[in-house]
Structure 1
Amino acid sequence: MSQPENAIVAGVDGSVRSIEAAQWAAGEARRHSTRLHVLLINDDPARDGSAGEAVREAAAACREAAPDVPVSAEVRAGHPVEGLLRAEEAARLLVLGSRGLGGFADALLGSVSSEVATRASGAVVVVRGDVEHSGGPVVVGLDDSPGIDNALRFALDAAAARGCELLAVQAWHEAGLLAPSLPPAERDETQLRIEQHAHQQLAEWTNRYPGLRARAVAVLAHPVPALVDAAATSPLLVVGHRGSGGFSGLFLGSVASGVLHHARCPVAVVR
């Protein structure tokens, strides 16, 4: 079956990790009352039979995980990265595993998932770990780039769907490695200014989500460990992909790639 319009798409390769990611996607489809489409990109016509078996197995696991979610399945020929990027263009959300274990076509090895997440035009979730955390907040990274609204909106929707708190983290650092450290008073003043900016930035959105608990913090640290630490018990960490720099240069691609490799929870990269 071809990809339904506006469905959540789970890219699989037959590995255990990719099936776990697809089951996470099924839960997300249930939260948002939408369809799930399980997709395998086959780059070897000699393995068409195995591809069909692998995608049917993944779809069955998703139906078991979320019986009320409509699930379709498809095998497409092509290069995994390019095929997944084309699927993402028509998807509500693309979900991938963080690392395959051989599986059918090695389609979701970490390098492929990272490349898709950082090249996609919309939102991609890379699922890390075996089980989604519960009880912690959805975490979103802040900066002052024009595109941050997309990441904030995605994170607020995710927190509202889960009925959990949103934690917005603004990481900042002092000027270059060779520059002298700020005097304590100036450092405190800068911290306060950035924290106030983060609160204001978040407040502009939270009034659209009545009843949602949300808070913002500023952290003097490199953005990758700051976000990874903040999301230690989070069900989802949300980052933008490209920003203009601002306080911390937070959303340069290297930071998105860093959290993809080090976070212990699913990571959403939002263009």
Structure 2
Amino acid sequence: MTRTKQSVVVGVDGSESSLQAALWAAAEADRLSVPLHLIVINNDPSRDPYAKKVVADFSNRCRHAAGGIEITEEVVYGHPAEELVHRSASARLVVVGSRGQGAFRETLLGSTSAAVATHASSPVVVVPGGGTATSGPVVAGVDDSPGCRPALQYAFDAAKHRHSELVAVQALPNAYFIPGPYEHPDRDELLDLAQRGLAEQVSTFTGDYPEVAVRQVVSNIAPVQALLEAAQHAQLLVVGHRGRGGFAGLLVGSVARGVLHHAPCPVAVVPG
């Protein structure tokens, strides 16, 4: 199947979580003016009629929600996570639900969603079950690692397409916390360094995105907690990770892993 533009690819399995992911993906494809491609990866040939029914039904619902976009659909055989990671090499974006057939409880990602989010070579958005906000800021986690730059650029672009504020959050590393009532002796100096580092990171992109209002937040609480608090009323939370793509190897940052399991809004995981 030949597509002239990179598609937003969404993996669906018939669950309510994957329906929410498909509808979110349709809205995102509409914002980006790119096609939407729905895919069911079926590893049981006896379920082929059901798989075809699911993808056709989801396609119709996405077309009703975002009627102006090109939508294609596909049923393939294989391992869901491996197939979606493979598709990520040519996708603009891969979207999955946070809870699919592999979920055990609310605070655990489905095994497919977790694997795709941390192994894909394109950005991946994990959409939580239930409704998602259509207003509010885009929140980006910022640090001084090399992987931060692609994630911050993705966040600026997301804020631009949503006409929303960007909240750039940098939290001091856990190593700077001292148990008990005592503050770190160099707290003020560390905060000052973090504020200057954050301003420098953000300034790299403000010239290219003059329409995006940016609020910079330096937090003295644990990074995962800081991001989750900032994302309470957000449309999207953006984090980077240090995975190498594919299944050859993986170094998943603890911050990305933490927010994926607990975020109240869709989370975009952007590879470095």
Q: Normalising by structure 1, what TM-score?
A: 0.89
Amino acid at match of 1:213: A
Matches within 5 A, 1:151-162: 151-162=151-162
**Contact kept? 1:3, 1:74, Cα under 8 Å:** no
Q: Secondary structure at the match of 1:228?
A: helix
State the match for 2:149 in structure 1.
149
Change (3 A) 1:214 1:84: same
Matches within 5 A, 1:17-32: 17-32=17-32
State the match for 2:192 in structure 1.
192
4+ residue segments displaced more than 3 Å: 1-5, 176-181
**Contact kept? 1:167, 1:215, Cα under 8 Å:** yes
Amino acid at match of 1:123: P
Deviation at 1:215, TM superposition (A): 2.0
Amino acid at match of 2:78: G
State the match for 1:11 in structure 2.
11
Q: Secondary structure at the match of 2:175?
A: coil
Q: Secondary structure at the match of 2:41?
A: strand
State the match for 1:52 in structure 2.
52
- Partners in 2 of 1:215 and 1:4 — Cα distance? 37
- Partners in 1 of 2:2 and 2:100 — Cα distance? 24
Deviation at 1:156, TM superposition (A): 0.5
**Contact kept? 1:5, 1:90, Cα under 8 Å:** no
**Contact kept? 2:102, 2:112, Cα under 8 Å:** no
**Contact kept? 2:5, 2:34, Cα under 8 Å:** no
Change (3 A) 1:211 1:31: same
Unaligned segments of structure 2, at least 5 residues: 104-108, 244-250
- Partners in 2 of 1:115 and 1:195 — Cα distance? 34
Unaligned segments of structure 1, at least 5 residues: 104-108, 244-250
State the match for 1:124 in structure 2.
124
State the match for 2:80 in structure 1.
80
**Contact kept? 2:102, 2:110, Cα under 8 Å:** no
**Contact kept? 1:2, 1:74, Cα under 8 Å:** no
Q: Secondary structure at the match of 2:204?
A: helix
State the match for 1:182 in structure 2.
184
State the match for 1:90 in structure 2.
90
Deviation at 1:2, TM superposition (A): 6.7
**Contact kept? 1:118, 1:253, Cα under 8 Å:** no
Count of paired positions: 258
State the match for 1:113 in structure 2.
113
- Partners in 2 of 1:214 and 1:54 — Cα distance? 41
**Contact kept? 1:236, 1:265, Cα under 8 Å:** yes
State the match for 1:133 in structure 2.
133
State the match for 2:224 in structure 1.
224
State the match for 1:106 in structure 2.
none
Amino acid at match of 1:20: Q
- Structure 1, residues 66-114: CA drift from partner, whole Å, max 9, x if none? 00011110001001111111111111000000002689xxxxx612101
- Partners in 2 of 1:174 and 1:46 — Cα distance? 50
Deviation at 1:210, TM superposition (A): 1.5
Q: Secondary structure at the match of 2:190?
A: helix
Q: Secondary structure at the match of 2:164?
A: coil
- Partners in 2 of 1:270 and 1:142 — Cα distance? 12
- Partners in 1 of 2:204 and 2:114 — Cα distance? 31
Deviation at 1:134, TM superposition (A): 3.4
Amino acid at match of 1:229: E
Q: Normalising by structure 2, what TM-score?
A: 0.88
Q: Secondary structure at the match of 1:175?
A: helix
Q: Secondary structure at the match of 1:140?
A: strand
Q: Which moved more, 1:173-182 or 1:31-40?
A: 173-182
- Partners in 2 of 1:80 and 1:130 — Cα distance? 22
**Contact kept? 1:4, 1:37, Cα under 8 Å:** no
- Structure 1, residues 153-203: CA drift from partner, whole Å, max 9, x if none? 1101100000000011011135377788512xx212211221121012101
Deviation at 1:234, TM superposition (A): 0.4
State the match for 1:210 in structure 2.
210
- Partners in 2 of 1:188 and 1:54 — Cα distance? 56
